Amino acid sequence: DTAVSQTPKYLVTQMGNDKSIKCEQNLGHDTMYWYKQDSKKFLKIMFSYNNKELIINETVPNRFSPKSPDKAHLNLHINSLELGDSAVYFCASSQRTANTEAFFGQGTRLTVV
Amino acid sequence: KQEVTQIPAALSVPEGENLVLNCSFTDSAIYNLQWFRQDPGKGLTSLLLIQSSQREQTSGRLNASLDKSSGRSTLYIAASQPGDSATYLCAVQQQNYKLSFGAGTTVTVRA
């Protein structure tokens, strides 16, 4: 019974395409995140939603648009994909209190060719 | 801006040796610090969370310390096993609830 699940696990697509990654958590958490892990394995936050409201929006190209239909789901849509978007994207969730663990999904490896 | 540094970047030890992984952060205004494990091609697994008011946290063979004022944490893994081979990531949670990560320490435990 996966706590944070992402789909798809792998995504290979051509430059210029539009793609979406879906994320769902069954932990009852009120906050969800998208992180990007680059080729050097460095994890950097992209977005965070709390109860469907955007609370963190780091410097990310506006080709990336998160959508949270409810607090258990946070999807990531990417328009006009570029080679530099190739990375592993992780969804995470936590409760918006100071001392709760964050739980991560298994990641989506996006390869743009 | 919070910066998190992990030293060393890689570590190789024989089985049975104790592991010491270091993490430092520049802004001491944190809520907590988490240590994660990442296996190749996998997601992150939370190992330990230390609240900002705590000095250490233990789970089995793992012990993590936190010195918030000096911006440092250390993860100790006792009696290492080949199954401990992975990348260990340190992350600090700040007052906007985001986690800032270090680049990780890749550990190899040789049988």
Q: Does residue A80 register a pLDDT over 90?
A: yes
Amino acid at A110: L
pLDDT band at A58 (very low <50, low <70, confident <90, very high): confident
Pick from B31, B52, B89: CB nearest A43:
B89
Which residues lie below 8 Å from residue A28, measured CB to CB, with a gap of 6+? none
A 48-67 residues with CB < 8 A to B:
48, 50, 55-56
Sign of CA dihedral A105, A106, A108, B1: positive
Each residue's pLDDT expressed in tens, for chain B with a length of 111 residues: 899 999 999 999 999 999 999 999 999 999 999 999 999 888 999 999 999 999 999 999 999 999 999 999 999 999 999 999 999 999 999 877 789 999 999 999 999
Query: Residue B70: what pLDDT?
Result: 95
Which residues in chain B touch residue A96, judged by CB atoms under 8 angstroms apart? 97
Q: Does residue A97 register a pLDDT over 80?
A: no
Provide the shortest C-alpha distance from residue A103 to chain B (in Å). 7
Q: Are A34 and A20 in contact (CB under 8 A)?
A: no
Question: How far is CA B78 from each of CA B9, B56, B59, B73, B111, rounded to the nearest angstrom?
Answer: 19, 15, 11, 16, 15
Amino acid at B17: E
Query: Residue A33: what pLDDT?
Result: 94
| Among candidate residues A34, A65, A75, A70, the one with its CA nearest the CA of residue A53 | A70
Distance CA A30, CA A94 (A): 7
Distance CA B55, CA B66 (A): 5
Closest chain B CA to residue A96: B97
Query: Residue A98: what pLDDT?
Result: 63
User: B2, B59, B94, B97: which to substitute to probe chain A, counting the most A Cβ within 10 Å?
Assistant: B97
Which residues in chain B touch residue A31, judged by CB atoms under 8 angstroms apart? 97
Query: Residue B97: what pLDDT?
Result: 79
The percent of residues in chain A predicted with pLDDT above 90, rounded, is 75
pLDDT band at A95 (very low <50, low <70, confident <90, very high): confident
Over range A84-109, report the average pLDDT.
90
Provide the shortest C-alpha distance from residue A53 to chain B (in Å). 14
Q: Are B93 and B33 in contact (CB under 8 A)?
A: yes
